[in-house]
Amino acid sequence: MTDLPLRLGIIGLGAMGSEMLAVAAAHPDVTVVLAADPGETAIERARIAHPGIALSNDPAEVLAHNAIDAVYVAAPPVTHAAYATTAMKSGKAVFCEKPLAVDLQEGEEMAAVAEATGAVNALNYTFSDRSAAVEVVRAVRAGEAGDVLGVDIEFLFPEWPRAFQKDARWVAGREQGGFLREVGSHYVFLTDRVLGPLILYTPTSLMETMARTPL
């Protein structure tokens, strides 16, 4: 890593990648060295919005670039493990969109590479700094929410994928995204942050626990 400005590379210019590109391009402590997406539509959209930033259709160029300190990965989840591990092995920090990986084995590999290389890495949960989430954290920690005994999470959207996600076809299926992985992970993360480690109860295990607990 070098001194500021941070030299950033971006892989993936969909909804999240485009948002990060806009924020990073306007940040005084960040220089976007190169942004990449294999889709020509995404590249053209970024070219119009940010004419001064170098763009590529090949994400490998970001990973191989010697003048990049950190890589932001906003490509489909099936690509996260390969992009992140390659970046870390080349000495770059990694900021990756969730889900971290599409299966446990890939996630464990990413964690192992991070530990072995000592690379700075983080997983992006954008919901954590939204005003509603910040207020929930504040209210619980201030005791205003009372004694929290459990958490029920229900998800209802009028359409799925949502309008801004319709170009990302992987979101609709279970292999890479799906409703629970894409949306539910935000609330699991937030609940864990507010209340500590979670215990998942099935209906059977919940009844067994209640039966053993004196009134």
User: 51-75 pLDDT, tens per residue?
Assistant: 999 999 999 999 999 999 999 999 9
Amino acid at 176: Q
Can you give the pLDDT at residue 130?
86
> Do residues 45 and 18 lie in contact, with contact meaning Cβ atoms separated by under 8 Å?
yes
Residue 209: pLDDT band by 50, 70, 90 thresholds? low
Q: Which of 120, 129, 170 is nearest to 15 (CA)?
A: 170
Question: Is the whole model's pTM more than 0.75, yes or no?
Answer: yes
Q: Read off the tokens for 182.
A: 């894409």
Which fold would CATH assign to domain 6-124? Rossmann fold (3.40.50)
Structure tokens at 156: 């209802």
pLDDT at 122 over 80: yes
The string of DSSP codes covering 155-193 is ---SSSS-GGGTT-GGGGSTTT-HHIIIIIHHHHHHHHH
The CATH 3.40.50.720 domain(s) of the chain lie at 6-124
